[in-house]
Amino acid sequence: MTEQAVGDPAASGAWDEGDPLGNRRFADAGDLRLESGTTLPGVRVAYETWGTLAPDASNAVLVLHALTGDSHVAGPAGPGHPTPGWWDELVGPGRAIDTDRYFVVAPNVLGGCQGTTGPSSRAPDGRRWAGRFPRITVRDQVAAEALLADVLRVDTWAAVVGGSMGGMRALEWAVTHPDRVSGLLLAATCAAASAEQIGLCSAQAHAVRADARFRGGDYYDAGPGGGPSAGLGVARRIAHLSYRSEPELQARFGRLPQDGEDPAAGGRFAVESYLDHQAAKLVRRFDANSYIVLSEAMNTHDVGRGRGGIPAALARVSAETVVVGIDSDRLYPLWQQQELATAIPRSGEVRVVNSPYGHDGFLIETAAVAKQLAELLRD
């Protein structure tokens, strides 16, 4: 089923005031001075929690989501949460991050679209930030999360955990605030965005901006079908190809036609239908401006910037660290995790997960990731 066949999506999939709260909570973090020198006023961070914070706040675990994730790391879909928890098998009573022991915090990232200040939020003038939202960096995102930690009165995280973009932020936490991170799990991530990663993110941002309905980012009042869903869908197709492995795609789809369609007569191949489906799902739950803002923030990621280079920056990490890589990951290849494990003082060898699923393996191979979390969170 094509995305057009299921009806026109709203101009934006962002959470908005008046929508169901779900399990969201909000923290007013105040004004945030960005790396660019701009001050972002009145920052609000949306987050979810599980478990109970110990009296001495020693059991807090910070879980950080990837590009199109959100604060809903665990729990079913429902009002306010269009999808189930993205790591639901790992967070909960008796699970790898045991909420009977730990107080788990999962924030929506700065620049996101699920309650934290981002392009779809209202600026002080009452209008949406839209295309006016300032450029932000991964360090800015961590600065906002540090303000959240202050609001929650968490001085030191028992562990900070993240994969992909979440791994970038987890690493930046450990480099910027080494005294506030006791344990660290980095999955399918890197010390600095590579040329290919920057190029892929840039191509996706161009795809969104090339949609005539993008309107420089000012599309929120356009109504159903009036937003840049076509451009965002193209961006998602590009991204999703990089998230999976070539052998998996070949094994699943090969040159098979979509059921009931003939590619020689204008129909689709099965893999095209698959990508159409992935695109349609995203445009109904995400915001095009946030996609650009977050993609460009990922491109800024370089823990060595202004710190004497990557090895010097990684030497600042004092947390016990577990680095996880996926053997079939062509977006964040194993050499990037090896760079982390080699230079971080309290890290052993890269824990390699064998998976056919490529970069998405850190989300899919939950049993393997659970094993590494158990090692990190052992008593």
Buried b (16+ CB within 10 A) or exposed e, 4-15: eeeeebbbbbbb
Q: Tell me the C-alpha distance between 202 and 196, whole Å.
A: 10
Q: Tell me the C-alpha distance between 287 and 345, whole Å.
A: 39
Residue 304 structure tokens = 């060595």
> In 3-state terms, what secondary structure has residue 122?
strand
Residue tagged active-site, from 65, 81, 301, 359: 359
Reduce the secondary structure of 301-337 to three states and give it as a string.
CECCCCCCCHHHHHCCCCCEEEEEEECCCCCCCHHHH
Residue tagged active-site, from 81, 329, 347, 360: 329
Residue 128 structure tokens = 């949406």
359 flagged as catalytic: yes
Q: Contact at 8 Å (CB) between 139 and 96?
A: no
* Other Cβ atoms closer than 10 A to 38: 13
Residue 12 structure tokens = 């934006």
329 flagged as catalytic: yes
Amino acid occupying residue 18: G
Q: Tell me the C-alpha distance between 296 and 299, whole Å.
A: 5
Q: Please, which residues bridge with residue 103 across strands?
A: 60
Q: Tell me the C-alpha distance between 159 and 181, whole Å.
A: 6
121 flagged as catalytic: no
Q: Tell me the C-alpha distance between 325 and 163, whole Å.
A: 10
Residue tagged active-site, from 164, 273, 295, 347: 164
Give burial (CB, 10 Å; 0-12/13-18/19+) of 160.
Answer: buried
Reduce the secondary structure of 59-96 to three states and give it as a string.
CEEEEECCCCCCCCCCCCCECCECCCCCCCCCEECCCC
Residues tagged active-site: 164, 329, 359
